[in-house]
Structure 1
Amino acid sequence: MKLALFDLDNTLLDGDSDHAWAQFLIEEGVLDGPEYTTRNEWFYERYKDGTLDIAQFLEFQLAPIANRPRAQLDAWHREFMQRKIRGMILPAAPALIAKHAKDTTAIVTATNRFITAPIAAELGIPNLLATDIEEVDGVFTGKPRGTPTFREGKIKRVDEWLAAQGRRLSDYAESWFYSDSLNDLPLLERVTNPVAVDPDPTLRAHAVKRGWPVMSLRP
């Protein structure tokens, strides 16, 4: 058995999907542009430098979708896919995914499931481990549910997902995790084939030191 795990943002996508979602809502007039952009950029910098407080970020990130009719959110997301996401899919990403067509595959991302589920479907990856959102009567509350799929949380979520199938990561003769981010070092350390994809400077240095493959999906 073989397992291939993929980070999403800045790995398979040329950019960050939750950052793009915020920009989309600003363009739609749903959010105040200057104020929200400043805060969004601040969180994005904390993510990139490895100091992000995930609970604080999720409180900020999930607030715009809280208590809104699902039909409205879904309509926005369809437009978001067309206007933002399809153009962000890196040209070489489909070929990398196809390389693992015979393997068990999953996206493992900190970005919430509402944003990422249609993206995973677009990419043809059947399994998605993403930060889940609390719902009451089909309406998002704006609070995360369970363990956020971030840093060590990615390991926990992968372990739980495999355990539900009666499996463990060690059951796979070969396992891959493709990521760009220093935040994914915990899970990269756990697989048999860690791969740095267009990595940030910290991950690149770590990959070179450890002899991990470094690849690019960008033109």
Structure 2
Amino acid sequence: MPHAYAFFDVDGTLLNMKSMFSFHDYWYRRWLPSHSGAVGDEFEDVSAILRALTENGSPRELVNRRYYAFFAGRSVEAVAACAEAWARSVLADPGLFIPEVLDELSNLRARSVEPVFVSGSFLEILQPIAEHLGVRQVLATRLLQAGGKYTGRFEAPQTIGTGKAVAITAFLARGTAQAAECWAFGDDASDLPMLEAVGRPVAVIGDPELGAIAQARSWRRLYVGADPDQSLLLAGSSVLAEDAV
């Protein structure tokens, strides 16, 4: 049993992309056309709805719920196969990981601190990334299914905002590690509950609001060289805004 854990937000903190929306583009633009024929207007319609929610400043929890509602009726088997193909595609890009944060993960693991992913993105696409890095624990959205199809709903808690802190608290309650001895890394003000849930918060600087809070509280601040406006998501010409995970 490790003496402590390091909880990592994934999108924008460890990955220089938004995994949900990258998968969204891959599913419609690459997977469906080659496996089930024409996509029709569904891609543009779904994308427009999600884009409108993000541009109108809707809470991230709402945007994600709407995103997962569109999974209703999708084949679990097909999503799993697409997730594997998507993961191979993004893992081939040398710019996927934010190097400063990846170094933190590696250095902490060398000190017997076990890394844990904590994300509002869904397990099926995060698991291959975790396996690539040797991360064994993933606290993420778990989609509900019935009869081999997704229902469009997910298990509680929703791992965004306060839900990340709830998931971390429940995770730690199952073991012997103390929250005061654990780390957490996040890049956005929505990660505050997660950062506040541990004794060693680290603000990955990019969001001015989080930076100001971290400075006021004398938290460690990790400055990274990646420009969020040059993420893989934009490089892949995603139709969605970046800030919804």
| Same topology, TM > 0.5 | yes
Q: TM-score, normalised by structure 2?
A: 0.76
In the alignment, the residues of structure 2 paired with residue 137 and residue 217 of structure 1 have an alpha-carbon distance, to the nearest angstrom, of 44
Residue number in structure 2 paired with 1:9: 11
- The alpha-carbon distance between structure 1 residues 20 and 6, as it changes in their structure 2 partners (threshold 3 A), is same
CA drift at 1:120: 1.6
Worse overlay, 36-45 or 199-208: 36-45
1:208 corresponds to: 215
Q: CA deviation at 1:162?
A: 1.7
| Aligned-partner Cα distance in 2 for 1:43–1:15 | 19
Partner of residue 104, structure 2: 96
* TM-score normalised over the length of structure 1: 0.84
- RMSD over aligned CA atoms reads 2.3
Residues 87, 125 of structure 2: 8 Å contact kept: no
Match of 1:81 among 76, 87, 93: 87
Structure 1 segment 1-219 matched on structure 2, within 5 A: 1-28=3-30, 29=33, 30=39, 32-45=42-55, 51-52=58-59, 54=61, 56-87=62-93, 88-101=96-109, 102-165=112-175, 168-170=178-180, 174-218=181-225
Distance in 2 of aligned mates of 1:94 and 1:32: 36
For residues 177 and 24 of structure 1, the distance between their equivalents in structure 2, rounded to whole angstroms, comes to 30
How many angstroms apart in 2 are the aligned matches of 1:98 and 1:218?
18
Query: Higher relative CO (CA 8 A, sep ≥ 6), structure 1 or 2?
Result: 2
Displacement of 1:53: 5.3
Task: Work out whether residues 19 and 40 of structure 1, in 8 Å CA contact, stay in contact via their aligned partners in 2.
Answer: no
Residues 120 and 43 of structure 1: CA distance in aligned 2, closer, same or farther (over 3 Å): farther
Q: Percent of aligned positions with the same letter in both sequences?
A: 25
Q: Is the CA contact (8 Å cut-off) linking 1:111 and 1:130 kept in structure 2?
A: yes
Deviates more, 1:89-98 or 1:31-40: 31-40
One-letter identity of the residue aligned with 1:181: D
Q: For the structure 1 residues 193 and 165, does the alpha-carbon distance in structure 2 shift closer, same or farther, using more than 3 Å as the test? A: closer
8 Å Cα contact 1:179-1:199 kept in structure 2:
no
Compute the displacement of 1:175 (Å).
1.6
The structure-2 alpha-carbon separation of the partners of 1:44 and 1:195, relative to structure 1 and needing over 3 Å to count, comes to farther
**Unaligned runs of at least 5 residues, structure 1:** none
Question: Does the 8 Å contact 2:4/2:177 carry over to 1?
Answer: no
- Structure-2 separation of matches of 1:141 and 1:33: 19
CA contact (8 A) 1:11 1:178 kept: yes
- Tell me the number of residue pairs that the alignment of Structure 1 and Structure 2 aligns: 212
C-alpha separation in 1, matches of 2:5 and 2:189: 21
* Residues 82-135 of structure 1: per-residue CA shift (max 9 Å, x gap): 223542222344322111111132111111212222222222211111122112
Distance 1:195 1:44, change over 3 A: farther
Write out per-residue CA displacement over residues 123-154 of structure 1, whole angstroms, 9 at most, x where no aligned residue: 22111111221122443211011211111111
Q: Aligned letter for 2:46?
A: Y
Q: 1:5: how far off? A: 0.8
Structure 2 residues not aligned, in runs of 5+: 34-38, 227-245
